[in-house]
Structure 1
Amino acid sequence: MKQIKHHLTEPLLMGYAAGTLPEAFNLVVATHITMCDTCRAALAEYDAVGGEVMLDSDPVDVAEDALAATLAMIDSGDMIVEEKPKRDARSVFPGPLQDYVKGDIDSLKWRKVGGGVSQLVLKTSKDASVRLLRIPAGTKVPDHGHQGTELTLVLQGAFVDEEDRFAAGDVEVANEELHHTPVAEEGMDCICLAATDAPLRFNGLVPRIAQKFIGI
């Protein structure tokens, strides 16, 4: 198991357990907890608390024909459950992420976003966005701030910024107070999964112009 230094915050774990996070954030959390024993154990505690709350809640009646209606949908074929492809334990993409990404690093259709950096936007609900970022070793990401929350999970390689060093399994939780310039370490391309609920604030003119085309 990787030595992970940077973990999810309590509000994120609680929100994931309660089902209140945007899908994009859920994906980052789910991917991280498959890599992190500490956060997986913490999540289990929140799930246990949620179970106790449900047990203490008053029961809610369902419609008398709910079972019959569900069985009718199954019989009619209107209720189709798609089979998920088998997960590859050797992939750099952990299991939850493999459900969104078809293929591995070199087979994906990366889109250049400038400065050597490439991205692949993943399809999720519209309340937040999530993308894979491929930052060549030694490459600097344009300095930027945040208008909301950004979760950045490192899947391969590492990057450093004004806050610390983030390696595989580490997650950086950024908010409006953080302004930074991430730099991928030498030796290996840095692959990250990044989710945002608001556009970034770039200082440079060129990144600001390109922003509306690349959707960050």
Structure 2
Amino acid sequence: MTVRHHIGDDLLLSYAAGTLDEASSLLVATHLALCPHCRARAVAADDLGGALFEDLPVAELSPGLRDAVLARLRSESVAAPATRPHRPRSDIVIPEPLRSYLGGDLDTLRWTSVAPRVQQIAIDIANCGPRARMLRFQPGTHVPAHGHAGRELTLVLSGSLCDRDAVLARGDVAETDEHTEHQPYAGPDKDCICLAVTDAPLRFKGMFARMLQPWFGI
């Protein structure tokens, strides 16, 4: 597997800094599990953040602040830090951390039909920010023509997705924004399974798709 379409620098830096929303962070972390090139970029971003942190001026602390922070840490259960994603086994379609969000690999998932030849699984994200969902398109299925009111990230996990002049395969990421209008479609060989993250509703061109939009929530 060779990943050809990678996440942008802004997303990677926000992820490394811990300022990226949960849904987008989930997609980035899943991409990193599939892409050695971006894992190396993530290490470099972490190193850059560490170097910038070391250059910050030393601030004077108020009396008692250190003791108060240590006391709070002792009184709270501190979550273990997230480990870097590892290369998944070849028989696993959905790598971590996405597999934990879904509760299993591809053969355990329960899909909901949202349109002819299209199914989805809405992923539970605690906050009210961008939404994440799994999408499955049967071979050759066209997504209705649409534009965007915000950013959309799409990570291909299985099959292929043809989007404008690009053919995306496993591990590839497509990023679109409010300037993008397109009509992607699944490749001809097998189901296309994607993780999609949107921070605003899509702008469908056709009346039928607009009528269905409130039902399937995209």
The alignment's TM-score, normalised by the length of structure 2, stands at 0.87
Q: Distance in 2 between matches of 1:178 and 1:164?
A: 14
Q: 1:139 is paired with a residue of what secondary structure?
A: coil
| Paired position in structure 2 for 1:117 | 118
Q: Distance in 2 between matches of 1:130 and 1:57?
A: 36
| Paired position in structure 2 for 1:92 | 93
| Paired position in structure 2 for 1:76 | none
Q: Distance in 1 between matches of 2:210 and 2:193?
A: 23
Q: Distance in 1 between matches of 2:163 and 2:73?
A: 52
Q: 1:72-114, CA deviations, whole angstroms, 9 ceiling, x for partnerless residues?
A: 44xxxxx3869x9xx9733211111112111222321211110
Q: Distance in 2 between matches of 1:152 and 1:16?
A: 16
Q: 1:3 is paired with a residue of what secondary structure?
A: coil
Q: Distance in 1 between matches of 2:186 and 2:163?
A: 9
Q: What number of residue pairs does the alignment pair up?
A: 207
Matches within 5 A, 1:158-197: 158-197=160-199
Q: Distance in 2 between matches of 1:201 and 1:143?
A: 9
Query: Aligned AA for 2:162?
Result: V
1:20 aligns with 2:19: yes
The alignment's TM-score, normalised by the length of structure 1, stands at 0.88
Q: 1:169 is paired with a residue of what secondary structure?
A: coil
Q: Distance in 1 between matches of 2:8 and 2:176?
A: 11
Q: 1:143-176, CA deviations, whole angstroms, 9 ceiling, x for partnerless residues?
A: 1111111000000000112231111111001111
Of all paired residues, the percent bearing the same amino acid is 41
Query: Aligned AA for 1:123?
Result: D
| Paired position in structure 2 for 1:66 | 69
Query: Aligned AA for 1:94?
Result: P
1:140 aligns with 2:142: yes
| Paired position in structure 1 for 2:204 | 202
Matches within 5 A, 1:147-162: 147-162=149-164
Inter-CA distance 72–4: structure 2 relative to 1 (3 Å threshold): closer
| Paired position in structure 1 for 2:102 | 101
Q: 1:34-84, CA deviations, whole angstroms, 9 ceiling, x for partnerless residues?
A: 1111111111111101001112224564441333343344xxxxx3869x9
Matches within 5 A, 1:34-49: 34-49=33-48
Query: Aligned AA for 1:55?
Result: E
Q: Is the 8 A contact 1:115 1:141 kept in 2?
A: no
Q: Kindly report the root-mean-square deviation, in angstroms, between the aligned alpha carbons of the 2 structures.
A: 2.1
Query: Aligned AA for 1:109?
Result: R
Q: Which runs of 5+ in 2 are unaligned?
A: none
Match of 1:215 among 205, 214, 217: 217
